[in-house]
Structure 1
Amino acid sequence: MKWNYFFYAVFLAVFFSSCDEGRIPEKEITVTEEGRVVKLTADLVGLDNWHSDYNVVLAGFAENSSYSAIAKDLSVSIADNGHVEVVMSGIGDEVRTLEVCVSNSIRERIATFYSMEAPATADTIRMDVGTLDISMYGTIQKTVFTDKCIQCHGAGSGEPAAGLHLTEGRSYADLYGAASTMVPGQQRVDPGKSGESILYNILTTDMSAEWAIDHSRLMSEEENLLTLIRKWIDNGAKER
């Protein structure tokens, strides 16, 4: 009997000691997420023609950074008609801008489709962006042809250089499977074959060094965009 009393006393001591130290498991654990919340509503066109090395995301960026501090892949949330409604929480104080953009495998921004400031005082931020063309080709049109090429290829009223229109709405027809006027026997864009496409070669080699403009100088520091063009061609050069 003495031994029974002894063990009983030990059990009570351990039990009450555990209670005093707060080691009784809670029935429910509540996890709270700090930071701001953004709610995105958009209609996205062209999401399904991106190369697998890229992601179209809702992302937050710190000031002067091209790498996202936080991001959410939009492809997993999009409906059949391109409509997407996404909530992203946990946006830290370092995030200054929110973007719908495309990034590569290391979360580096390649192109932005929509951008807004991230108010520091707002707990919930709404992004109602309407319809966005986020296609791979639309991105090339905006970041390459419109920004760098149309001064010679279609911005004016005269005939564009080499008869090549690179303005929005005309460029695809003048590129896809179209014969080059400068290099006989080759296509401006040969779908699936970037190495045999004049568009890619003229931007990455010295083949135009003796023409009016050495095109390789136009994008000598734009490796990400050159890679984008190469993968677009090798992926079939789709318009949408």
Structure 2
Amino acid sequence: MQTFDEAASGFNSTLPPPPPPPPPPPPPPPPPASFGPNYSEIQASVFTPSCATAGCHAGAGASAGLNLEDANSYAELVGIASSQDAGVERVNAGIPDISYLIQKLEGTVAGSSQMPLGAAPLSQTDIDVIRLWITNGAVDDR
């Protein structure tokens, strides 16, 4: 009598390959921003706590001549040429990609530091909210 191995040696056991594993689930969406795409909320949630601080963009000696304190920031941002690149507006209402503010927040200005300087960068979600405010015309809702 043949053993199992002897009997199986003449059997073609070629099976199709197993199906590939399912793809991994997509990553969860980023958390929503804690503020809306309007100037007053951006001022309160970003500019005041992250930018308008001593030694940065506050007071008479504000860095780059840009005072981001609540009473001054809108007038010093929208439609105003950057002191570091006169051909680029700090905020070009309607066009975030050529707004110096977005370039600085995303760290895409050659030879320049990403803002906020010396702190963790803003989340992409937060930058996207600022970008949406600019896209929508950079309106002062105060």
Q: What TM-score does the superposition give when structure 1 sets the normalisation length?
A: 0.41
Q: Decide whether aligned partners of structure 1 residues 109 and 205 sit closer, same or farther in structure 2, where only a CA change above 3 A counts.
A: closer
1:238 is aligned to 2:139: yes
Question: Using the alignment, how far apart are the partners of 1:221 and 1:160 within structure 2?
Answer: 20
Query: Which of 215, 222, 239 matches 2:115?
Result: 215
> Matched residues, percent identical?
32
Question: Using the alignment, how far apart are the partners of 2:67 and 2:47 within structure 1?
Answer: 10
Partner-residue secondary structure (3-state), 1:202 = helix
Conserved 8 A contact 2:96-2:135: yes
Which residue of the partner structure matches residue 33 of structure 2? Answer: 110
Deviation track 1:15-40 (CA, whole Å, cap 9, x = no partner) reads: xxxxxxxxxxxxxxxxxxxxxxxxxx
Which residue of the partner structure matches residue 138 of structure 1? Answer: 40
Deviation track 1:104-148 (CA, whole Å, cap 9, x = no partner) reads: xx7x54226xxxxxxxxxxxxxxxxxxxxx771111111111111
Q: Decide whether aligned partners of structure 1 residues 221 and 232 sit closer, same or farther in structure 2, where only a CA change above 3 A counts.
A: closer
1:153 is aligned to 2:57: yes
1:226 is aligned to 2:130: no
Q: Decide whether aligned partners of structure 1 residues 221 and 164 sit closer, same or farther in structure 2, where only a CA change above 3 A counts.
A: closer
Conserved 8 A contact 1:135-1:239: no
Conserved 8 A contact 1:179-1:185: yes
Question: Using the alignment, how far apart are the partners of 1:193 and 1:161 within structure 2?
Answer: 24
Q: Decide whether aligned partners of structure 1 residues 219 and 235 sit closer, same or farther in structure 2, where only a CA change above 3 A counts.
A: farther
Structure 1 counterpart of 2:82, one-letter code: S
Report the RMSD for the aligned CA atoms in angstroms. Answer: 2.4
Conserved 8 A contact 1:194-1:233: yes
Partner-residue secondary structure (3-state), 1:189 = coil
Q: Mark the runs of 5 or more structure 2 residues left unpaired by the alignment.
A: 1-28
Partner-residue secondary structure (3-state), 1:215 = coil
Structure 1 counterpart of 2:34, one-letter code: A
Partner-residue secondary structure (3-state), 1:142 = helix
**Any residues of structure 2 matched to 1:138-217 within 5 Å, and which?**
138-151=40-53, 152-154=56-58, 156=59, 158-207=60-109, 210-211=111-112, 213-215=113-115
Partner-residue secondary structure (3-state), 2:131 = helix
Q: Which has the higher helix share?
A: 2
Q: Which has the higher strand share?
A: 1
Question: Using the alignment, how far apart are the partners of 2:37 and 2:105 within structure 1?
Answer: 21
| Structure 1 residue 206: Cα displacement | 3.7
Greater RCO, 1 or 2 (C-alpha within 8 Å, sep 6+)? 2
Q: Decide whether aligned partners of structure 1 residues 193 and 147 sit closer, same or farther in structure 2, where only a CA change above 3 A counts.
A: same
Structure 2 counterpart of 1:215, one-letter code: M
**Any residues of structure 2 matched to 1:61-76 within 5 Å, and which?**
none
Q: Mark the runs of 5 or more structure 1 residues left unpaired by the alignment.
A: 1-105, 113-133
Structure 1 counterpart of 2:41, one-letter code: T
